[in-house]
């Protein structure tokens, strides 16, 4: 918030803090409403604040009768009406403004003797930060702004102001695209290796202005926990970095988690691959431990495929699901439950051939041929604007277990990745019940590759 009449966050407000409003006139940053209004009127106020400098809306406060426009009387609204007002605010942002307006609110219930707010009544305080996804357009087709001491938002008609609003919104989206789809710097030896990059955020356009984590020690405990522990964690400007460095070369782009204090996570996962190059015996060794290895090799031979890089996707569901659950856990410590926005970027996957240890995948290859990725960089889902991000539902603390979130989030994101790499919907549907077991075989295969007699994997 660029302005606040209080010296504390909105969710720390007490009823007695309302007394400060006796010296705060309605104007650029403040609006008083003595009673609830229509959803469309709420939408005008929310969008006007967001399009301008942000501001505070108070429902249940009357202006002073002396014309100073400061808060004068605090009748509140009847407590039974509070849920309906909260619903009206939510619907105003969701249904009557595009894009949605971010806001926070709290309910201050009476009795509050400092302002004569009676028992059984409440004042609803709504804080709207200056919007970053401008312009916010009302459902009536107009763009509203707060202007000076006007008690009502004014439709904007000045082309220069409208152009400035468009530029402000475009700047925010450009920042998101750069953050979510950037390609990390790697060593020369890794420059052609395939990577999976996953971006997750509950506030992708940074509208709330909040900073995380609030407790460094708690965050470090979360990062070191199962099912995907990180052993190398250190702060950096604007957040922290976590890596799986144990028993690995520290100078490589390992499984790396970059956390930004705005609540963003950018995770890099090196993808297991084998450069085939006409070496079936070496590939057979690399696939040891998989039930469908021989069938897969037979299909490659029948199709005359002798070159290409084989991508092992059997650990994908586990990694993706576990990563999203870890991000949820980090933000849950600060009271954030979602929704979360996610985008996957696959790097250096040109001419890669997928491998899944499922009978249905082998059947796909026999029926339709061997898929070979045709692009080096692939976005999942396609597109880099916010509307193209995958949206993961908020977690219900009472009914959403870690296992449920692990499964649902992992499946939602992994389906897009599998499809992008050439795995058909039929394969995924027919192999759904067996997909969860491929990770165990992937672990066994990885141990086999790491033994002293392993063969080079490109």
Give the model confidence (pLDDT) of 274-325 as tens digits: 998 888 899 999 999 899 999 999 999 999 999 999 999 999 999 999 999 9
Whether residue 163 lies inside any domain: the answer is no
255 touches 271 (CB < 8 A): no
State pLDDT tens for residues 129-188.
Answer: 999 999 999 999 999 998 876 656 778 888 888 899 999 999 999 999 999 999 999 989
User: Whole domain around residue 192: which residue ranges?
Assistant: 177-449
Containing 170, the helix (H) or strand (E) segment is helix 159-180
pTM reported for the whole predicted model: 0.88
Q: What is the pLDDT of residue 403?
A: 67
291 and 382 share one domain:
yes
Mean pLDDT in the chain?
A: 91
What pLDDT score does 210 carry? 87
**Single residue among 108, 126, 157 that ends a domain in this structure:** 157
How many structural domains comprise the chain? 2
Q: Is the pLDDT of residue 211 over 50?
A: yes
Flag whether pLDDT at 455 surpasses 60.
no
User: What pLDDT sits at residue 439?
Assistant: 83
Residues 121 and 258 in one domain: no
Which pLDDT band holds residue 399 (cuts at 50, 70, 90)?
A: very low
Count other C-beta atoms under 10 Å from residue 298's C-beta.
14
| Residue 110 to residue 255: CA distance in whole angstroms | 52
| 246 pLDDT more than 90 | no
**Per-residue pLDDT at 249 exceeds 90:** no
Residues 330 and 218 in one domain: yes
DSSP state of 119: T
- 412-438 pLDDT, tens digit per residue, is 999 999 999 999 999 999 998 888 788
- Average pLDDT, stretch 7-20? 94
> Residue 243 contacts by C-beta under 8 Å, 6 or more apart in sequence?
230, 231, 232, 233, 254, 255, 256, 257
Q: Which of 122, 157, 192 is the last residue of a domain?
A: 157
Residue 440 has a pLDDT of 84
**pLDDT confidence band for 250 (50 / 70 / 90):** confident
Confidence of residue 60 (pLDDT cuts 50, 70, 90): very high
> What integer is the mean pLDDT of 4-22?
94
Determine the Cα–Cα distance for residues 172 and 272; give it in Å rounded to an integer: 35
The answer to whether residue 162 sits within a structural domain is no
Q: Kindly state whether residues 142 and 250 are assigned to the same domain.
A: no
Position 291 scores a pLDDT of 94
Do 240 and 124 lie in one domain? The reply is no
* CATH code: domain of residue 129: 3.30.950.30
Any domain includes 168: no
Q: How confident is the model at residue 77 (pLDDT cuts 50, 70, 90)?
A: very high
Same domain, 310 and 432: yes
pLDDT average, residue stretch 357-381: 96
Indicate the pairing of strand 104-109 with strand 256-260. unpaired
Of the ranges 3-17, 104-118, 247-261, which one carries the lowest mean pLDDT score? 247-261
Residue 267 tokens, joined: 């995770």
pLDDT band, very low/low/confident/very high, at 397 (cuts 50, 70, 90): low
Q: Are 48 and 145 in contact (CB under 8 A)?
A: yes
**Do 110 and 196 fall within a single domain?**
no
Give yes or no: residues 147 and 219 share one domain.
no
DSSP H or E segment with residue 69: none
- Mean pLDDT, residues 379-408 taken together: 81
Q: What residues are paired with 77 via a beta bridge?
A: 122
> Which of 127, 157, 187 is the last residue before a domain boundary?
157
Q: Is residue 4 part of a domain?
A: no
247 pLDDT exceeds 90?
Answer: no
Element (H, E) at 406: helix 402-420
**234/450: higher pLDDT:** 234
Polymer length of the chain: 458
Residue 219 located in a structural domain: yes
* 295 vs 86: CA distance, rounded Å: 59
Give yes or no for a contact between 306 and 233, defined as CB atoms under 8 angstroms apart: no
In this structure, are 152 and 184 located in the same domain?
A: no
List, for residues 333-363, the tens digit of each pLDDT value: 888 988 999 999 999 999 999 999 999 999 9
Residues 115 and 196 in one domain: no
Cα–Cα distances (Å) from 312 to 88, 214, 246, in that order, read 50, 38, 22
pLDDT value at residue 209: 84
| pLDDT bucket at 452, cuts 50 / 70 / 90 | very low
What span, in angstroms and rounded, lies between the C-alpha atoms of 121 and 18?
Answer: 14
What does the CA dihedral 211, 220, 331, 200 come to, rounded to 10 degrees? 90
Provide the pLDDT for residue 347.
97
- Cβ-contact 108, 74 below 8 angstroms: no
Same domain, 293 and 385: yes
Angle at 426 between CA 314 and CA 279, to 5 degrees: 45
The answer to the question of residue 298 being in a domain is: yes
| Average pLDDT of span 232-259 | 90
Q: Has residue 25 got a pLDDT over 90? A: yes
Please report the pLDDT score of residue 454 as a whole number. 45
Where do runs of H (alpha helix) occur along 270-399? 280-286, 293-303, 316-332, 359-368
User: For residue 136, is it within any domain?
Assistant: yes
Least confident of 244-248, 409-413, 422-426: 244-248
Q: Which residues pair with 108 in a beta bridge?
A: 123
Same domain, residue pair 114 and 247:
no
Domain presence at residue 166: no
Query: In the prediction, which pLDDT does 446 show?
Result: 81
Q: What percent of the chain has pLDDT over 90?
A: 73
């Amino acid at each position: 918030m660029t302005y606040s009449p209080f010296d504390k966050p909105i969710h720390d407000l007490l009823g007695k803090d309302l007394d400060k409003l006796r010296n705060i006139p309605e104007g650029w940053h403040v609006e008083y409403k003595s009673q609830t209004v229509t959803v469309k009127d709420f939408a005008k106020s929310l969008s006007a604040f967001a399009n301008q400098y942000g501001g505070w809306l108070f429902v249940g406060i009357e202006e002073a009768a002396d014309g100073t426009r400061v808060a004068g009387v605090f009748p509140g609204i009847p407590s039974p009406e509070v849920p309906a007002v909260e619903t009206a605010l939510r619907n105003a942002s969701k249904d009557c403004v595009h894009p949605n307006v971010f806001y926070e609110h709290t309910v201050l219930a009476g009795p509050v003797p400092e302002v004569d707010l009676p028992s059984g009544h409440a004042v609803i305080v709504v804080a709207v930060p200056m919007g970053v996804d401008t312009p916010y357009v009302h459902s009536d087709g107009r763009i509203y702004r707060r202007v000076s001491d006007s008690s009502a938002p004014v439709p904007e008609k000045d082309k220069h102001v409208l152009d400035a609003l468009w530029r402000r919104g475009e700047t925010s989206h450009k920042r998101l695209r750069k953050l979510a789809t950037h390609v990390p710097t790697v060593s020369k030896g890794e420059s052609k290796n395939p990577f999976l990059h996953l971006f997750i955020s509950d506030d992708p356009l940074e509208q709330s202005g909040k900073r995380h984590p609030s407790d460094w020690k708690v965050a470090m405990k979360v990062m070191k926990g199962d099912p995907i522990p990180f052993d190398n964690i250190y702060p950096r400007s604007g957040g922290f970095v976590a890596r799986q460095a144990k028993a690995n070369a520290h100078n490589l782009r390992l499984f790396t988690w970059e956390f930004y204090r705005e609540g963003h996570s950018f995770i890099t996962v090196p993808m297991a691959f084998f450069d085939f190059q006409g070496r079936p015996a070496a590939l057979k060794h690399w696939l040891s431990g998989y039930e469908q290895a021989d069938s897969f090799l037979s299909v490659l031979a029948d199709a005359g495929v002798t070159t290409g890089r084989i991508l092992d996707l059997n650990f994908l569901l586990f990694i993706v699901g576990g990563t999203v659950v870890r991000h949820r856990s980090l933000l849950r410590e600060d009271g954030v439950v979602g929704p979360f926005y996610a985008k996957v970027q696959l790097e250096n996957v040109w001419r890669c051939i997928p491998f899944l240890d499922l009978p249905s995948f082998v059947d796909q290859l026999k029926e339709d041929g061997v898929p070979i990725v045709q692009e080096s960089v692939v976005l999942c889902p396609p597109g880099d604007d916010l509307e193209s991000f995958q949206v993961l539902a908020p977690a219900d603390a009472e009914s959403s277990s870690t296992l449920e979130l692990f499964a649902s989030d992992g499946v939602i994101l992994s389906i897009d990745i599998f499809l992008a790499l050439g795995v058909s919907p039929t394969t995924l549907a027919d192999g759904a019940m067996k997909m969860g077991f491929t990770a165990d075989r992937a672990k066994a295969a990885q141990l086999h590759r790491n033994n002293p007699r392993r063969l080079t994997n490109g």
